[in-house]
Structure 1
Amino acid sequence: MTFAARLAALLTALLLAFPAAAQTGDIARGFQRFLETDIWPAAKARGVPRPIFDAAFKGVKPNLKLPDLQLPGDAAKVEENNFQAEFQSPSAYFNESAVAGLAARGRGLMATHRAVLSRIEAKTGVPAAIIVAIWGRESGFGAAKIPHNAFEVLATKAYLARRKEMFREELLAALDIVADGHLKVSEMRSSWAGALGQPQFMPSKFLAFAVDQDGDGRRDIWNSVPDTLASIGHYLQKAGWVAGRDWGFEANVPDSVSCAVEGPDKGRPIRDFVSAGVTRVSGRPFPANEVGATGHLMMPAGRNGPAFIATPNFYTLKVYNNSDLYALFIGHVADRMAGGGAFKGGWVQVEGMTRGDVARMQEKLVGRGYDVGGADGLPGFKTRRSIGDYEASAGLSPTCWPSRDLAARLK
């Protein structure tokens, strides 16, 4: 390449980079204005001292590498990614060696902390195994490193995320945590989403549900195992956990029972499912105390994976993390701690679709009058059953799962 050509290429690169650099500078200036003119007055009104505010944001800049941001001027759109477990074979989410290892370690920790867990279970009604399974999933029983500056994460998302109002409230709650003396500014580390401590509570959830179980005067979900376990139990109790009920049961669901009748709003007595031919994969009958109680069909991969009769407690687990696979993972690990085995039903590998693909399919279903729960690209229960209803109306065998063939048919 000649000198002239190299110079031209360099100038072109500089010109292309200039708008991005200018935008970054604009974002940084707008971010500082946002902190000073919006967050500070709100924090001051909540009693946060100015020195704490200044310490929290000293050197903090917007972190544009965080996911789910919408930069100024960018059109709102669903990201074209395929990283969530919902878009891959869920079998990877339930990797047998990982599940077995987590359950084995959880059993040991349940024995170690049996006394405190018994007190928590008696007070909250939440089984010890469920509490320990969440502890293991969220932070590897407290061993996981929490890498991010919580104020950087929450402030960036309060300024640039799609759910700005939610993160604004979480940012103010984080300032309250420091102002109330729970942690120093330097100790406020979080996940990329702003979650804190061993149970990975968002700041507002810490303020609402954290418990001082060890009696030292602090609600310490960072270093205290009793506080961590009690806080998880209290969270689930307040979210509606029904004492004495299981979370659910893996089931055989005949084709005569449509996969489109799943969901928390489609509950019916479990005996009705039994009358329709649904059985437990274990071969045992449903427990006597469950047969007359409400159950819900739950098929997280449609006909491409195991099926379950879930109780309302399954949906309480989703309050902790709004994912069918997350709630199923917690329930399954808890069962494994109690001696249960692997799922009987297998996960069928389906040709992957991106989140953007699913969002476009949802938009087409909405246009046809179906309630998919929002075109967010996530195949939740409303999307799954809408797909099943559409498939049935089109004379297809319902799968209740997005596919490229179905997307082509909807065009």
Structure 2
Amino acid sequence: MRYVVLLLGLLSLAPLPASAQDRARIEAQFQNWLSQTVWPRAKAKGVSRGTFNAAFNGVRLNWDLPDLVPPGSRTTTPKRQRQAEFGAPAKYFNRGSVNGATATGRKLARQYANTLARVERATGVPGHIILAIWGRESGYGRVAIPHNAFEVLGTKGFMSTRAEYFTDELIAALQIAQAGHAPSGAMKSSWAGALGQPQFMPSSFLKYAADGNGDGRADIWRSEADTLASIGNYLARHGWVKGRDWGFEVRVPPSVSCTLEGPDQGRRITQWAAMGITRVNGKAFPSHEARGEGFLLMPAGRNGPAFIVTPNFYVLKDYNMSDLYALFVGHVGDRIAYGMGDFEGRWGNVGRMYRSDIAAMQRGLQAMGHDVGGADGLPGFKTRRSIGRWQEARGGRATCFPEPGMKAVLGR
């Protein structure tokens, strides 16, 4: 499944083979790869010839997918930045998305109350958190999932920048079909190969998909009960701590540096409170939470809301490796269950930089010895606090977020 990131810079790449002759030749190579490479591996995993043939009946290469590297080519298709979490925080938390997910979630909380209660008893994961993930992943099952999973995974397994990974996922998808979980013609996926309403990659399906209605299948395409049970099982298996919240919006005084952010700098919540961090609603931290470990989260540095989060926040992040994703899920879940309002903190205007500019800053910080988590253009917590430490070392106030003016100094 799936770091706060700003706008992606334009890529200049050579085009893929365009002639019909080139594509026909590569298509023949693809069909040979299916029979000579994929079929033996699938057969070894118990996939029947009938299942295999049905899966690939009429399947051809999809040249519209991103990150393709055709045989004999050194060029790739552009990396399409389709995931919304790779954008400005304010846009991610736009009122329409938050209010829509909340309103629908409240209705479905009533409609599926018994199912959600059953899943919560089995997994310890609150129903409102499961609902919020369902809403974020597929609009509560209302967003069309348009692609043939075997076409997507076959294409990317044959000629993508991560061919080995997608070939493994293709074999897993065939195992799912063999087991009869997906109804005929319903093995639908996203452009990246994520399946069904919870958007599980096939390997995750094999590990975490659950039968929520007792019919012996885990139909995450058509069954709401199976979808909810599968999401709950995923979070439970990733370490959700029963009885703990995901986190709390807080006020961080100037005396507390934003460089203290990160899952590797945890301390008891009572210690954070002793440093002057308070909840925005004026209430004390719940006693059972105060004794537990908490972590400072400032996804836009000093330019946005701040939070003390629990280990459960990072379980949500396991579902999709984005601070904003996990924060959205927790926030919408709270709104569904408790009628919470908007964050008190406001997102600053931090979304007008190219990813390539941030990568240049990261390389500059790396040259100074900072651990930024990789020069990938993604301002995750390691990059944010490295910027803050650099600012403090220069005698300035730490803001812990990339700014356009920094490129002239860090990006040289």
Q: Which TM-score applies when normalising by structure 2?
A: 0.89
One-letter amino acid of the structure 2 residue matched with residue 401 of structure 1:
F
Q: Supply the distance in 2 between the matched residues of 1:186 and 1:97 (Cα, whole angstroms).
A: 33
1:372 is aligned to: 372
How far apart are residue 60 of structure 1 and its match? 2.4
In the alignment, is the contact (CA less than 8 A) between 1:351 and 1:403 conserved in 2? no
Q: 1:25 to 1:357 in 2, by over 3 A?
A: farther
1:93 is aligned to: 92
Deviations 1:200-253 (A, max 9, x none): 111111111111121122212122221111111111000100000000001111
Q: 1:365 to 1:115 in 2, by over 3 A?
A: same
2:313 is aligned to: 314
Match status 1:402 vs 2:407: no
Which has the higher Rg, Structure 1 or Structure 2?
1
Q: Supply the distance in 1 between the matched residues of 2:332 and 2:305 (Cα, whole angstroms).
A: 16
2:348 is aligned to: 348
2:27 is aligned to: 28
Deviations 1:90-118 (A, max 9, x none): 11111123212221221121112112211
2:302 is aligned to: 303
How far apart are residue 341 of structure 1 and its match? 0.8
Deviations 1:345-384 (A, max 9, x none): 0001125122222223222322322222222222111121
Q: Supply the distance in 2 between the matched residues of 1:84 and 1:199 (Cα, whole angstroms).
A: 15
One-letter amino acid of the structure 2 residue matched with residue 34 of structure 1:
W
How far apart are residue 305 of structure 1 and its match? 1.0
1:11 is aligned to: none
How far apart are residue 82 of structure 1 and its match? 6.8
One-letter amino acid of the structure 1 residue matched with residue 401 of structure 2:
W
How far apart are residue 295 of structure 1 and its match? 0.4
In the alignment, is the contact (CA less than 8 A) between 1:87 and 1:352 conserved in 2? no
Secondary structure of the 2:255 match is coil
Q: 1:347 to 1:131 in 2, by over 3 A?
A: same
Deviations 1:244-282 (A, max 9, x none): 000000111122222122111111111111111111111
Q: Supply the distance in 1 between the matched residues of 2:298 and 2:367 (Cα, whole angstroms).
A: 25
Q: Give aligned pairs, total.
A: 395
1:126 is aligned to: 125
Q: 1:399 to 1:26 in 2, by over 3 A?
A: farther
Q: Please, which moves more after superposition, 310-319 or 51-60?
A: 51-60
Secondary structure of the 1:91 match is helix
Q: 1:363 to 1:255 in 2, by over 3 A?
A: same
1:253 is aligned to: 252
Q: 1:19 to 1:166 in 2, by over 3 A?
A: closer
Secondary structure of the 1:296 match is strand
Match status 1:103 vs 2:141: no
Q: 1:70 to 1:357 in 2, by over 3 A?
A: farther
- Aligned-residue sequence identity (percent) comes to 55
One-letter amino acid of the structure 1 residue matched with residue 175 of structure 2:
D
Secondary structure of the 2:300 match is strand
Q: Which TM-score applies when normalising by structure 1?
A: 0.89
Higher RCO (CA 8 Å, separation ≥ 6 residues): 2
Q: Please, which moves more after superposition, 110-119 or 153-162?
A: 153-162
The 5 Å alignment of 1:60-209 reads 60-70=59-69, 73-74=73-74, 79=79, 85=84, 88-184=87-183, 186-209=185-208
Q: Supply the distance in 1 between the matched residues of 2:113 and 2:86 (Cα, whole angstroms).
A: 38
In the alignment, is the contact (CA less than 8 A) between 1:214 and 1:227 conserved in 2? yes
Q: Supply the distance in 2 between the matched residues of 1:70 and 1:388 (Cα, whole angstroms).
A: 39
* Structure 2 alignment gaps of length 5 or more: 1-13
How far apart are residue 330 of structure 1 and its match? 0.3
Q: Supply the distance in 1 between the matched residues of 2:126 and 2:103 (Cα, whole angstroms).
A: 17
How far apart are residue 59 of structure 1 and its match? 3.0
Q: Normalized per residue, which structure has more helix?
A: 1
Q: Supply the distance in 1 between the matched residues of 2:84 and 2:151 (Cα, whole angstroms).
A: 27
Q: Please, which moves more after superposition, 158-167 or 282-291?
A: 158-167
Q: 1:18 to 1:152 in 2, by over 3 A?
A: closer
In the alignment, is the contact (CA less than 8 A) between 2:186 and 2:221 conserved in 1? no
2:339 is aligned to: 339
In the alignment, is the contact (CA less than 8 A) between 2:88 and 2:351 conserved in 1? no
Q: Supply the distance in 2 between the matched residues of 1:246 and 1:318 (Cα, whole angstroms).
A: 14
1:5 is aligned to: none
Q: Supply the distance in 1 between the matched residues of 2:138 and 2:175 (Cα, whole angstroms).
A: 23
Q: Supply the distance in 1 between the matched residues of 2:152 and 2:16 (Cα, whole angstroms).
A: 26
Secondary structure of the 2:245 match is coil
Q: 1:260 to 1:75 in 2, by over 3 A?
A: farther
One-letter amino acid of the structure 2 residue matched with residue 364 of structure 1:
G
Match status 1:386 vs 2:386: yes
How far apart are residue 334 of structure 1 and its match? 0.6
Q: Supply the distance in 2 between the matched residues of 1:285 and 1:177 (Cα, whole angstroms).
A: 48
Q: Supply the distance in 1 between the matched residues of 2:403 and 2:325 (Cα, whole angstroms).
A: 22
In the alignment, is the contact (CA less than 8 A) between 1:52 and 1:185 conserved in 2? no
Secondary structure of the 1:187 match is coil
